[in-house]
Structure 1
Amino acid sequence: MTIRESGYHCDVVIVGGGAAGLSAALMLARARYSVVVVDSGQPRNATAAHMHGFLTRDGMPPGEVLSTGRAEVARYGVEFVSGVATGVSASDEGVEVEVVDSGTLRGRRLLVATGLTDDLPELPGLAERWGRDVLHCPFCHGWEVRDQVIGVLSTTAMSVHQAMLFRQWSPRLRFLPHTGPALSDAQTEELTARDIEIVPGEVDALQITEDRLTGVHLRSGEVVELQALVCAPRFSSRSGLLAPLGLTPSAHPSGIGDYIATDAAGRTAVPQVWAAGNVADPAKQLLGAAAMGAEVAVAMIDDLISEEVRGAVDARRATSGSR
């Protein structure tokens, strides 16, 4: 009996077609499990022109990475559904996923790889420059702004740490206390020792000249000249569809946002539901998210095989007992 004849659409429904979801789909499909990937077509890194730190793919546009990945997994029979998953139910038999305009998908397991959203400070012009010359990750963008005049907008307790990181790429840093926590004497000493200029005052707008960032305006009226601006967003997991199962986000220990808690293998508190990528670890970069997707898929394969072995043993016992 095929998976569809049994009433299921597939063995595994994956919600999220980014690096983690596609990597998991590849591993599962190569293990001869049927997979349906539900994707909203709204990747977090859509505003970035290039991605970095991914060996063999460094500098490639994020959209090209995803289109290449989709083509690779499609060769193994993975199916794609374009749409937004709005909710899920689970039982001992499997899961049902509600998708806008596509109805209900039924599978034996669900892997959530929906990623996260960047909740940015409310500052005129900032969201429009996000991923261009308003940045947060030195490992993603540090090389591209090396030796430039970089401002670090303090909004969280992580801002001083961000400044210390970006100092590796440029000696021309300006720390903007803005609305962040008051600097301790030790932090002030550390910033000063690293030749990071502290510019007091609250920022009220970005200065854009000929479609590029050239500085920020302070409420005092002063303009601070910059070529790039760094700020720390709050990371919010895209996990609303899991609410009907009682799976709600937990605060990340680092204070950077929230995530869906799993065990070491990627299984949530609901046995049929797994999570991988930034929805389960907001600190993962693209390469790490892809690796996590593959690792969780391997654990899911082991889980599915174990279930099949139990079923085969029970069937054999039932047959033997009836003779």
Structure 2
Amino acid sequence: MTEQWRDEYDVVVVGGGAAGLSGALMLARARRSVVVIDAGAPRNAPADGVHGLLARDGMPPAELLARGRAEVRGYGGQVMSGTVEDVRRDGDRFTVILAGGRAVRARRLLVATGLVDELPELPGLRERWGRDVVHCPYCHGWEVRDRAVGVLGSGPMSVHQALLFRQWSADVTYFAHLVPPTEEQAEQLAARGIPVVSGEVAAVEVGGDRLAGVRLADGTLVAREVVAVATRMVARLGFLDGLGLRPVPHPAGVGEHLPADPSGRTDVPGVWVAGNAADLVAQVGSAAAAGAAAAAQINADLVTEETAQAVAAHRLAALPA
């Protein structure tokens, strides 16, 4: 049966990844009217599998999301395709406006739009992204274990990234590129047997269906089977500008996120955030947990509001005629 849009929901969830679907599942089980609006561009789409997720390790990302959507719908929640372009305050409600002009109202909003990985502008990186160009050792380390890994110096966490990947492979090379190590970092890399290649990187070379190595600006090719790169991570939050919510620089200098309290509550009453939009380094499991936790707080907030309304009505009814 085809799902039909309602005019209003208790909660609109923007983003249908692990955080958004987990939050919607919790809300639907709490008998809330909830819709997930999903733009269909998951961050982990290029990956072969989701890793580190208990009982679902290695499951293809598309399959995990399909199961999640089915579970949300099984409790009466809705999952709809669409891109949210704007959100406006409408009295004690929010008006959520989608591309194409459709608008729905919501009592509360859960933002779970994830983030965009901004890769350095180097030929070859984007083509192999999610395969043998990787970023997270906990997501990909086991899959690239014992292979020749090159770590590109592209951000403030690049040296740390190299030291982490050393846990999975004894053959790690650090390419200084834009981030040469400090004296202390150089000592750490040397102590762990990680050579440092100075000079600018010109490209990541691809040979056939695999990585060939890292090409330096002077023409030298350093053979590598895997390249790790620290991306700049930016939360997808432009549609919240009208509410005055904008991403801010992350304290670690790795991108932009939307700050929130531990429950996911933002500075705008009625708006919560969960997953990578708030926590740039959250993996699938922690993003899902954050979505569920935020959803529980949203339901509690609605119960508080409804109880106050019920008490007011009860007192009014008890007044003498």
Q: What TM-score do the two structures reach when normalised by structure 2? A: 0.96
Match of 1:250 in 2: 248
Instruction: State the 1:157 CA deviation.
Output: 1.8
Correspondence 1:150 to 2:149: yes
The answer for the alignment partner of 2:96 in structure 1 is 97
- Once the two structures are superposed, residues 56-86 of structure 1 have per-residue CA deviations (whole angstroms, 9 ceiling, x without a partner) of 1100100110001001111011112211000
Match of residue 319 from structure 2: 321
Report if the CA contact (8 A) 1:125-1:205 is conserved: yes
Secondary structure, in 3 states, of the residue corresponding to 2:205? Answer: strand
CA RMSD of aligned residues (A): 1.3
Q: After the TM superposition, which segments of 4 or more aligned residues of structure 1 sit over 3 Å from their partners?
A: none
**Superimposed CA distance per residue, residues 31-57 of structure 1 (whole angstroms, 9 cap, x where no aligned partner):** 100101100011111111111000011
* CA–CA distance in structure 2, aligned partners of residues 277 and 176 of structure 1: 31
Alignment-derived partner of residue 115 in structure 2: 116
Can you give the 5+ residue segments of structure 2 that lack an aligned partner in the other structure? none
Contact 2:16 2:112 in 1 (8 A): yes
User: Among 214, 217, 241, which residue is 2:215 paired with?
Assistant: 217
Task: Give yes or no for the alignment of 1:240 onto 2:277.
Answer: no
Q: Could you tell me whether the CA contact under 8 Å between 1:90 and 1:272 is conserved in 2?
A: no
Matches within 5 A, 1:41-120: 41-101=40-100, 103-120=102-119
Task: Report the Cα distance in structure 2 between the residues aligned to 1:254 and 1:216, rounded to whole angstroms.
Answer: 27
Q: Which residue of 2 is the match for residue 177 of structure 1? A: 176
Amino acid aligned to 1:254: A
| Pairwise CA distance, 1:210 | 1.5
Alpha-carbon distance in structure 2 between the residues aligned to 1:167 and 1:264: 32
Asked if 2 retains the 8 angstrom alpha-carbon contact of 1:160 and 1:187, the reply is: yes
Gaps of 5+ in 1: none
In the comparison of the two structures, how many residue pairs are matched?
317
Instruction: Give the secondary-structure state (helix, strand or coil) at the position aligned to 2:208.
Output: coil
Give 2:198's aligned residue: 200
Rounded Cα–Cα distance in structure 2 between residues aligned with 1:32 and 1:40: 25
d(CA) in 2 for partners of 1:179 and 1:233? 13
Cα shift at 1:91? 4.0
SS at match of 1:315: helix
Q: TM-score normalized by structure 1?
A: 0.96
Q: C-alpha distance in 1, partners of 2:116/2:143?
A: 23
Per the alignment, residue 190 of structure 1 pairs with 188
Q: Does structure 1 retain, via aligned residues, the 8 Å contact 2:156–2:254?
A: no
Q: Does 1:305 align with 2:303?
A: yes
Q: Give 2:8's aligned residue.
A: 9
* Corresponding letter in the other structure for 1:118: D
Report if the CA contact (8 A) 2:124-2:203 is conserved: yes
Cα distance between partner residues in 1 of 2:208 and 2:243: 49
1:279 matched residue in structure 2? 277
Deviations 1:179-203 (A, max 9, x none): 12x3221111110110001111211
Which secondary structure state, in structure 1, belongs to the residue aligned with residue 282 of structure 2? coil
Q: CA deviation at 1:115?
A: 0.5
SS state of the match for residue 25, structure 1?
A: helix
CA distance in 2, matches of 1:129, 1:50: 15
1:258-293 CA-partner distances (Å, limit 9, x unpaired): 111112221111111111111011111110000000
Which amino acid counterpart does residue 110 of structure 1 have in structure 2?
L
